[in-house]
């Protein structure tokens, strides 16, 4: 404030002594300088606050941008790490799959052989049972046929009285009695 007063007072003295000529251009220049000086003195604090706010906003934007870049880089690093782990896991899976195939191919022959043996064994048991039942059935049929033949023979001996049959009947009866 003191500086302005000194400058104003000095200017008035110079104008009054006709050292500085006072014309339109000078007056316009003085008005412009005064306007700028008043504008600067009145608005300097608000301009300073506005510039500080803008600087703070820019600083926040730059900080957020750096944080986003760091987050993006961390995500990329994590993705690359997971990809490396994924390739390692696939290699391990390939090795396990190869081991499993080798194990299965080695055991498949034994399994197939055991399976065929079990099936063949069951079929043989079935055939054996079928043979036993068939032989029993055949024996039963033979016994029934013989029984019918004996019954017919007895019927013929008693009914027809053929001398050859009677003689054979008596011989077989005598043989039977001798055995008992």
* pLDDT, position 42: 84
Q: Identify whether 13 is part of a domain.
A: yes
- Spatial contact of 165 and 157, defined as CB atoms under 8 Å apart: yes
Q: Identify whether 132 is part of a domain.
A: no
Expressed as residue numbers, the domain containing 14 is 1-43
Global pTM value: 0.38
Q: Identify whether 26 is part of a domain.
A: yes
In angstroms, the CA 107 to CA 113 distance is: 10
In angstroms, the CA 143 to CA 148 distance is: 8
**Which residues fall within 8 angstroms of residue 15, CB to CB, at 6 or more apart?**
22
Q: Number of structural domains, the chain?
A: 1
Asked if residue 73 has pLDDT above 90, the reply is: yes
Residue range 151-168, pLDDT digits in tens: 877 777 677 665 655 666
* pLDDT, position 95: 92
Q: Identify whether 35 is part of a domain.
A: yes
**Which residues fall within 8 angstroms of residue 37, CB to CB, at 6 or more apart?**
4
Residue scoring higher pLDDT (125 or 110): 125
Q: Identify whether 52 is part of a domain.
A: no
In angstroms, the CA 88 to CA 67 distance is: 31
% of residues, the chain, pLDDT over 70 = 87
Q: Identify whether 81 is part of a domain.
A: no
Cα torsion angle, 36, 40, 43, 49, sign = positive
In angstroms, the CA 58 to CA 50 distance is: 12
* pLDDT, position 57: 95
Q: Identify whether 15 is part of a domain.
A: yes
Q: Identify whether 111 is part of a domain.
A: no
Question: Which among 42-46, 112-116, 125-129, 154-158 has the top mean pLDDT?
Answer: 125-129
């Amino acid at each position: 404030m003191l500086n302005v007063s000194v400058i104003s007072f000095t200017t008035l003295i110079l104008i009054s002594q006709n050292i500085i000529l006072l014309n339109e251009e000078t007056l316009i220049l003085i008005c412009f300088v005064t306007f700028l000086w008043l504008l600067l003195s009145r608005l300097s604090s608000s301009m300073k606050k506005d510039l500080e706010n803008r600087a703070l906003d820019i600083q926040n934007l730059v900080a957020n941008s750096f944080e986003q870049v760091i987050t993006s880089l961390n995500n990329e690093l994590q993705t690359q790490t997971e990809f490396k782990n994924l390739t390692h896991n696939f290699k391990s899976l390939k090795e396990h799959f190869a081991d499993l195939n080798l194990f299965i191919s080695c055991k498949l022959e034994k399994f197939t052989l055991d399976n065929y043996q079990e099936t063949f064994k069951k079929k043989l048991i079935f055939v054996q049972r079928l043979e036993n039942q068939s032989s029993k059935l055949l024996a039963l049929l033979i016994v029934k046929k013989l029984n019918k033949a004996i019954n017919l023979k007895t019927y013929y001996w008693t009914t027809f009285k053929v001398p050859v049959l009677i003689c054979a009947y008596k011989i077989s009866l005598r043989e039977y009695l001798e055995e008992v």
